[in-house]
Each structure stands twice: as structure tokens, then as C-alpha cells.
């Protein structure tokens, strides 16, 4: 079994210093009914696009410090890359950036792509962490969501992946129409039986212009009641924390040593370089995002021009983002940090606005650090919004 580092056993509680590279692979076999990410179901331009990803990496090599701690292939479906394409991207990264020896290198994969041959190919590459899009082990859920895999492939891919990778995360979705609490518990128990060390779990949300939204409008699918989300979230937190997982961010649960360094980089406001159509970047002051169109991206990068828009974050934007992301994590919000990064005005605002949540038992305070309590966890985004500063 490969244990090519990438897990965080030697890192500090606030994650590793240094930057992150995100690579967006904008292709999928078929469109999941709930998905609003950027992807194309035609893979005709895949190899051309990979060439352009490499070119973008070269064009932007000076935008981020030369101490890359995490690399993340997201999508779309990165497991659609073949070994030549993946190796070309790695060669470009290692030629143009200094990557830490124990960097976490994650690739998102869908179960239907993970044959033993593909897993062996990934194991032989610098990838040291797999994030597998299982979503559910029930056939009816997978069909409703139009996932490309079936429940047998979900199980088989994990059994196989475990033979080669130690650092594995899976995605599981709750709040699926028609999903009972018993079925949700069974999904979690299946993951626990397989001894998966990291689970990312999201509520199924109905995004605008998705097939799921249309089905609900037409009455073909019954919308999920708030109660189902709430109950299944509670089941999720209680089940995983009772089995040794730390609930270290609203949607993320890890065994000790298996918290995602890539996610930490985002939440802790570290610089990241986003490569590929629709990818976002952040350097501490500016946020940039690439065009969400494969052909326009290819043409623009081919002509040596970055197809991106830029926004400078104001102090208030940065404060609001800081409060939102930190409240979702185990780190919480430190008023000392607010004072240092944003100044007295923001600290006074935070202290005043958080009072009602402290009184209601939705937040708690230990010295100068504020956390959401178990009672408030499900409401954390709403609580954060109430703490925002409005200019
Ligand atoms: S595989 Fe992922 S990115 Fe592709 S359509 Fe499904 S959810 Fe969206």
C-alpha cells in the first residue's frame, strides 16, 4: 500500500504554511441532476484543454509563493484524465513550482472510473489522496441524482482504492428526496465499516437551472422538508463524532491525521492559485476567477491571454469572509485576530452582534475565541451572516 505522505500528522493545528494549487478538470460523463459546477459532457477537447492548463500554469508561475503545500484536482471529473495527461500536468507543476516534499496531492475521482488499472496508475503518480464521489450507496438515490455509477461500483471502488491508498475521503449527500433516516444511517455505517478516514458530507441543495429544480417545479420530485435536513445533519454529526472523527468544518469530518490540508488552506485564507475554466484564485488581497467556458478558455490561453476577472476585496469583504469561514471551522473566530487584521471597529461590531447568540446558547466563548455550539452548528451560515459588517 502506498502511504506517500500527504496526511497532516506533522502539521500545526492551523494547517501548514504555504500556498495551494487547484486544477479544474471541466469534463463529466453525464450531468448529475443537482450539479451547477462548470463542466462539459463532451470530452472532445480534453487533450487540448490539458495543454492549456499547462500553459496557464507556466503563465502564472510567479503569482504564488514557491512553497506549494497542497495540490488539488477538482472538477468536473479529474479521474477522466489518462496517465499521459496527468503526467504532463505534474511535469509542468514540478518544473515551474517548488512543491513541498510532503505536499498533500488530492485527486477527485468517481467510482465508475476507478478500475484497478486506473487506481494503479494514480498510485504510481504523485497523487497521495483520493476524494471519491460516492454520494450514496443506495441505487435509488444514485438514479435520482443521475450519478454515472451504481451502488456496486461505489463499494468496489472503495475496496480497491483501500488496497493502494491510505488517505481516502468520500463525499456523501444527505437530504436526498425520499431518503429515510434509516437509509442515511446505513450509508454512514457502510463508510465506517470500510474504515474510510475522511468524509465530506453535504446537504442536497436545489440550485437554479438544474434538472432537480425543474423536476421539483413540475412536481416529479417532492421537495425535502427542513426537518429532514436537520435530523440527518444531527445523525451525521453524532454518528461520526462517536466513532473518532473530528467535525473540523461544517461539511468535513476526519480521523486524526486525515484533515484535508487543501480545505484548510481555503478556510485559513492562505493564497491559492486556481487553474482551468471557472477556477478561482486568491492572493490575500485580490480574488480572480477564470471564464466558465472551455472553448473561450482554450482560445484565450492559446493566445497567451489570461481569461480572468479580478476583484479587490475591501476590508469589509475580507472581514465578512473571515467570520463566515472561521465560524464554520473548529478554529472559531478570535477577536484578537479581528483586531489585528481589520481593526477596532470590526471587533466592537463582532462583540456586540455575537451577544444574542451567546445568550441563546448558539455560540460559546473561551477567552477571546468564539465558536458555534453543537446547538448552533446547523445554523452556522445564518449566524455568520448576522455577524457581517455592512458598510
Ligand atoms: S460528476 Fe461532479 S461535477 Fe460532474 S456533474 Fe456530477 S456532481 Fe457535477
Give tens-digit pLDDT for 275-284.
Answer: 999 999 998 8
C-alpha cell at 240: 461520526
* Distance in angstroms (rounded) separating the CA atoms of residues 57 and 50: 11
- Mutation choice for ligand 1 from 23, 39, 42, 135, CB with most ligand atoms inside 8 A: 39
The confidence score (pLDDT) of residue 2 equals: 47
pLDDT in the model for residue 1? 54
CA 27 to ligand 1 centroid distance, Å:
9
From the CB of 32, is ligand 1 less than 6 Å away?
A: yes
Closest atom of ligand 1 to 31 CA is: 5
CB-ligand 1 contact for 37 (6 Å cutoff): yes
List the residue whose alpha carbon is closest to atom 2 of ligand 1: 76
Q: Is the CB of 79 under 6 A from ligand 1?
A: no
pLDDT (0 to 100) of residue 284: 83
Please give the distance, rounded to the nearest whole angstrom, from the Cα atom of residue 290 to the centre of ligand 1.
19
pLDDT in the model for residue 12? 37
Distance 171 CA to ligand 1 centre (A): 12
pLDDT of the residue at 15: 46
Task: Quote the cell numbers at residue 30.
Answer: 453525464
pLDDT of residue 3: 45
What is the model's pLDDT at position 265? 87
Nearest CA to ligand 1 atom 6: 32
What is the pLDDT, as a whole number, of residue 13?
39
- Residues in the chain predicted with pLDDT less than 50, given as ranges, are 2-3, 5, 8-16
| pTM for the structure as a whole | 0.93
* CA angle (26, 127, 11) in 5-degree steps: 115
Rounded to the nearest angstrom, the distance between the alpha carbon of 238 and the centre of ligand 1 is 28
What atom of ligand 1 comes closest to residue 76's alpha carbon? 3
What distance in angstroms lies between residue 62's CA and the mean position of ligand 1's atoms? Answer: 31
- From ligand 1's centre to the CA of 361, what distance in Å? 38
Give how far the C-alpha of residue 165 lies from the chain's centroid of Cα atoms, to the nearest Å. 19
CA of 50 to the centre of ligand 1 (A): 19
Q: Which residue's CA lies nearest to atom 3 of ligand 1?
A: 76
How far is C-alpha 312 from the geometric centre of its chain's CA atoms?
A: 23
pLDDT for residue 7: 56
Amino acid at each position: 500500500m502506498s502511504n506517500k505522505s500527504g496526511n497532516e500528522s506533522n502539521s500545526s493545528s492551523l494547517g501548514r504554511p504555504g500556498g495551494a494549487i487547484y486544477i479544474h478538470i471541466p469534463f463529466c460523463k453525464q450531468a448529475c441532476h443537482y450539479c451547477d459546477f462548470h463542466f462539459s459532457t463532451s470530452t472532445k477537447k480534453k487533450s487540448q484543454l490539458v495543454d492549456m492548463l499547462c500553459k496557464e500554469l507556466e503563465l502564472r508561475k510567479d503569482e504564488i509563493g514557491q512553497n506549494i503545500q497542497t495540490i488539488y484536482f477538482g472538477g468536473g471529473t479529474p479521474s477522466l484524465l489518462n496517465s499521459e495527461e496527468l503526467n504532463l500536468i505534474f511535469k509542468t507543476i514540478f518544473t515551474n513550482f517548488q512543491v513541498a516534499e510532503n505536499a498533500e496531492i488530492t485527486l477527485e475521482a468517481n467510482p465508475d472510473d476507478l478500475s484497478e488499472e486506473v487506481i494503479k496508475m494514480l498510485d504510481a503518480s504523485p497523487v497521495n489522496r483520493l476524494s471519491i464521489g460516492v454520494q450514496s450507496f443506495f441505487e435509488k438515490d444514485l438514479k435520482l441524482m443521475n450519478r454515472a455509477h451504481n451502488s456496486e461500483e461505489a463499494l468496489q471502488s472503495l475496496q480497491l482504492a483501500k488496497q493502494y491508498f491510505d488517505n481516502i475521503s468520500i463525499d456523501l449527500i444527505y437530504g436526498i428526496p425520499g431518503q429515510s433516516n434509516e437509509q442515511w444511517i446505513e450509508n454512514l455505517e457502510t463508510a465506517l465499516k470500510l474504515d474510510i478516514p475522511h468524509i465530506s458530507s453535504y446537504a442536497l441543495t436545489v440550485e437554479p437551472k438544474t434538472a432537480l429544480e425543474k423536476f421539483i417545479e413540475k412536481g416529479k420530485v417532492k421537495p425535502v422538508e427542513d426537518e429532514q435536513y436537520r435530523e440527518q445533519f444531527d445523525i451525521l454529526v453524532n454518528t461520526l463524532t462517536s466513532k473518532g472523527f473530528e467535525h473540523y468544518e461544517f461539511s468535513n469530518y476526519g480521523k486524526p491525521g486525515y484533515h484535508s490540508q487543501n480545505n484548510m488552506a481555503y478556510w485559513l485564507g492562505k493564497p491559492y492559485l486556481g487553474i482551468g475554466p471557472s477556477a478561482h484564485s486568491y492572493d490575500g488581497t485580490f480574488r480572480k476567477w477564470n471564464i466558465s467556458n472551455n472553448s473561450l478558455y482554450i482560445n484565450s490561453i492559446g493566445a497567451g491571454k489570461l481569461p480572468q476577472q479580478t476583484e479587490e476585496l475591501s476590508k469589509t469583504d475580507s472581514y465578512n469572509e473571515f467570520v463566515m469561514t472561521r465560524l464554520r471551522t473548529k478554529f472559531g473566530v478570535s477577536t484578537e485576530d479581528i483586531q489585528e487584521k481589520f481593526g477596532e471597529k470590526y471587533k466592537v461590531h463582532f462583540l456586540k452582534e455575537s451577544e444574542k447568540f451567546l445568550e441563546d446558547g448558539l455560540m460559546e466563548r473561551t477567552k477571546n475565541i468564539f465558536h458555534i455550539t453543537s446547538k448552533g452548528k446547523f445554523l452556522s451560515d445564518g449566524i455568520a451572516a448576522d455577524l457581517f459588517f455592512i458598510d
